[in-house]
């Protein structure tokens, strides 16, 4: 119990420090960017899972030097499902061909669950809380090509549900493929390993985006295919398409 209390206090102190640093970054931010989107299927940050329903998405970023604060919100239009993350990110290396990013976030998600109570079907809403961190080394091959690894480790902050997960994603980024003078295509195929409470799986995923140089809107799509897995709760194949508006 004493050890559990010490860990909880450490987490609370760490979050306070990050929040203070984050507030300072927002107030004195040198750059601000973001995007708003609407999609037929809201994907989780780990693409094994999705809303299986339409979603509104928002990703924002306030950056100062090597630090950034980045809220990430995904909501069903009727608000019955959703997730909210608050990223605190730091890039110790961001010049030359090699870059390195690390970060952490508290997160919460909620979703409906049907139970039977006194012989009647009752709909409840479950709230889950998480604390996660990431490490992202990336190597720029040329102006249109980069190769990297994305590692995300997540911890559930409640006794039931997911406790510990490891997400290791090997990706290839292909950007600014010119269709013509105005249209550009970007692709990011990837294979990844996911381990949730000692159950593992391997998957293929890919993101694609078509953008116009003179307009802030783009069309984006994500697919996810299970290769082999012991993890339950996900579908064998997932896809979506999204209309995204870029802010700045």
Whether the per-residue pLDDT at 140 is higher than 90: the answer is: yes
The pLDDT tens digits for 219-248 are 999 999 999 999 988 899 999 999 999 987
Least confident of 21-35, 88-102, 211-225, 232-246: 21-35
Q: Domain ranges in the chain?
A: 2-247
Per-residue pLDDT band at 110 (split at 50, 70, 90): confident
How far apart are the C-alpha atoms of 48 and 57, rounded to whole Å?
18
User: CATH says 2-247 is which class?
Assistant: mainly beta
Token representation of residue 173:
């980024």
The pLDDT tens digits for 34-84 are 899 999 999 999 999 999 999 999 998 988 889 998 989 899 998 889 898
User: What pLDDT is stored for residue 7 in this prediction?
Assistant: 47
Residues in the chain: 248
Whose structure tokens read 């037929």? 40
Q: Please report the beta strands in the chain, taking only residues with DSSP state E, as ranges in sequence order.
A: 31-39, 55-64, 67-75, 82-93, 98-117, 120-142, 145-156, 164-178, 183-196, 199-212, 217-229, 237-247
Q: In degrees to the nearest 10, what's the CA dihedral of 45, 46, 52, 55?
A: 10
The pLDDT tens digits for 3-13 are 445 545 555 55
How far apart are the C-alpha atoms of 121 and 126, rounded to whole Å?
16
Residues 129-152, mean pLDDT to the nearest whole number: 96
How far apart are the C-alpha atoms of 41 and 241, rounded to whole Å?
7
Q: In degrees to the nearest 10, what's the CA dihedral of 105, 236, 123, 111?
A: 10
User: What pLDDT is stored for residue 115 in this prediction?
Assistant: 75
Q: Do residues 226 and 232 touch, judged by C-beta distance below 8 A?
A: no
Residues 12-17, mean pLDDT to the nearest whole number: 58
The pLDDT tens digits for 172-184 are 999 988 878 889 9
Q: Do residues 85 and 103 touch, judged by C-beta distance below 8 A?
A: no
Per-residue pLDDT band at 91 (split at 50, 70, 90): very high
Q: Do residues 128 and 161 touch, judged by C-beta distance below 8 A?
A: yes
User: What pLDDT is stored for residue 130 in this prediction?
Assistant: 92
Q: Do residues 176 and 143 touch, judged by C-beta distance below 8 A?
A: yes
Q: CB neighbours (10 Å) of residue 71? A: 17
Per-residue pLDDT band at 19 (split at 50, 70, 90): low
pTM of the model: 0.86
Share of the chain above pLDDT 90, in %: 60
How far apart are the C-alpha atoms of 108 and 101, rounded to whole Å?
23
């Amino acid at each position: 119990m004493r050890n559990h209390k010490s860990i909880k206090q450490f987490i609370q102190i760490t979050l306070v420090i990050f929040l203070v640093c984050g507030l300072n970054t927002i107030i004195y931010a040198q750059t601000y960017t973001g995007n708003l989107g609407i999609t037929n299927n809201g994907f989780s940050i780990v693409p094994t899972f999705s809303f299986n329903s339409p979603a509104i998405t928002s990703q924002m970023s306030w950056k100062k030097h090597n630090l950034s604060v980045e809220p990430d919100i995904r909501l069903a239009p009727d608000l019955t499902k959703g997730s909210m993350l608050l990223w605190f990110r730091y890039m110790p290396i961001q010049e030359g061909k090699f870059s390195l990013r690390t970060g952490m976030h508290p997160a919460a998600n909620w979703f409906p669950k049907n139970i039977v109570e006194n012989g009647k079907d009752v709909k409840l809403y479950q709230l889950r809380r998480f604390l996660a961190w990431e490490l992202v080394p990336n190597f720029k091959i040329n102006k249109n090509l980069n190769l990297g690894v994305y590692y995300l480790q997540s911890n559930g902050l409640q006794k039931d549900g997911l406790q510990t997960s490891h997400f290791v994603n090997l990706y290839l980024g292909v950007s600014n493929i010119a269709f013509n003078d105005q249209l550009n295509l970007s692709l990011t195929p990837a294979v990844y390993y996911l381990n949730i409470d000692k159950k593992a799986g391997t998957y293929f995923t890919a993101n694609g985006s078509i953008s116009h140089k003179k307009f802030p809107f783009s069309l984006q799509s994500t697919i996810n295919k299970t290769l082999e897995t012991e993890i339950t709760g996900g579908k064998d194949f997932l896809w979506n398409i999204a209309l995204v508006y870029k802010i700045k």
